[in-house]
């Protein structure tokens, strides 16, 4: 049973690859057996036709467990898959507007922003300026303020309005997420 293995970039020392003089041993049924010399623990594991796996190398002495290594590897992979399923990844959704946007189009953009925020995403509002519009950035800021008021019940701005080149930006995050951070 002399195997060595990798489980998704996590190295587990098993059997003769365990290079410490003493280990704290956990039996195959999960009971703590005590501190043994590594050679004695390896003999106990081989007597049961199982592997000795170092599960906590940073402990003093390191903790080793008597298990079937392939089953142990499978369980670790399954736990990682379950953890991946549970995590929610939020994306930044961008909504672009122009300073000459009509009233109806603005309402459509606000409705779309609400949908993005309700689904758990951040929303970045971008107002773009062309040509002489750059002299009237205050029009873009007024539109951003109107949108901020419209979304006030479900979202809060994540900072102030920022400007870069011919665009101004404002990020929104859900009220629920903001309350969790506080």
User: pLDDT tens-digit profile of 78-92?
Assistant: 988 888 888 777 788
Tell me: the pLDDT tens digits for 42-69?
A: 998 899 889 899 888 888 888 999 998 8
Residues 17 and 65 in one domain: yes
Given this model, what pLDDT does residue 8 score? 39
- Please state, in angstroms and as integers, the Cα–Cα distance from residue 154 to each residue in 28, 78, 100, 164, following that order: 52, 37, 26, 27
Looking at the fold, whether 57 and 11 belong to one and the same domain comes out as: yes
For residues 134 and 99, is the Cβ–Cβ distance under 8 A?
Answer: no
- Examine the domain organization and report whether 98 and 80 are in the same domain: no
Same structural domain, 104 and 165: yes
Q: How confident is the model at residue 2 (pLDDT cuts 50, 70, 90)?
A: very low
Q: Clarify whether residues 58 and 126 are in a common domain.
A: no
Structural domain boundaries enclosing 99: 92-181
With 60 as the cut, is the pLDDT of residue 10 above it?
no
Q: What is the CATH number of the domain that holds 171?
A: 3.30.110.10
CA atoms 71, 72, 77, 80: torsion sign: positive
Cα–Cα distance for residue pair 122/128, rounded to 1 Å: 19
Q: Which of 108, 147, 107, 111 is nearest to 126 (CA)?
A: 147
* 103 and 74 in a common domain: no
Domain final residue pick, 21, 56, 84: 84
Task: Assign residue 11 the CATH number of its domain.
Answer: 3.10.20.80
Task: Note whether 98 and 177 are same-domain residues.
Answer: yes
Domain C-terminal end among 49, 84, 119: 84
Q: Do 166 and 127 reside in the same domain of the chain?
A: yes
3-state secondary structure 124-166: EEEEECCHHHHHHHHHHHHHHHHHHHHCCCCEEECCCCEEECC
Last residue within a domain, chosen from 33, 61, 84: 84
165 and 110 co-located in one domain? yes
pLDDT (0 to 100) of residue 103: 92
What average pLDDT does the segment 10-33 reach? 84
Residue 47 shares a structural domain with residue 11: yes
Evaluate whether 64 touches 16 at the Cβ level (below 8 Å): no
pLDDT confidence of 162, banded at 50, 70, 90?
confident
Check residue 9 and give its pLDDT: 39
Instruction: Indicate the number of domains in the chain.
Output: 2
Which residue do the tokens 């929104």 mark? Answer: 172
Q: What is the pLDDT of residue 112?
A: 93
Handedness of CA 110, 116, 117, 121 (dihedral sign): negative
Q: What is the pLDDT of residues 121-155, one digit of tens each?
A: 889 999 998 888 888 888 888 888 898 899 888 88
Give the global pTM. 0.51
The answer on 121 and 53 residing in a single domain is: no
Do 21 and 80 lie in one domain? The reply is yes
């Amino acid at each position: 049973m002399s195997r060595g293995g990798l489980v998704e970039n996590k190295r587990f020392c098993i059997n003769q690859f365990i290079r410490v003089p003493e280990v704290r041993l956990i039996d195959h049924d999960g009971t703590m057996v005590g501190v043994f010399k590594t050679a004695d623990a390896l003999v106990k594991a081989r007597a049961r036709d199982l592997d000795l796996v170092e599960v906590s190398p940073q402990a003093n002495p390191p903790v080793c467990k008597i298990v079937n290594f392939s089953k142990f590897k499978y369980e670790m992979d399954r736990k990682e898959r379950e953890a991946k399923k549970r995590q929610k990844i939020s994306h930044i959704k961008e909504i672009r507007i122009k300073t000459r946007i009509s009233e109806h189009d603005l309402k459509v953009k606000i409705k779309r922003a609400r949908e993005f925020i309700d689904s758990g995403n951040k929303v970045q509002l971008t107002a773009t300026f062309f040509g002489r519009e750059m002299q009237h950035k205050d029009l873009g800021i007024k539109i951003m303020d109107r949108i901020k008021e419209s979304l006030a019940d479900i979202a809060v701005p994540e900072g102030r309005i920022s400007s870069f080149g011919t665009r101004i930006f404002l990020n929104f995050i859900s009220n629920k997420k903001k309350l969790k951070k506080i």
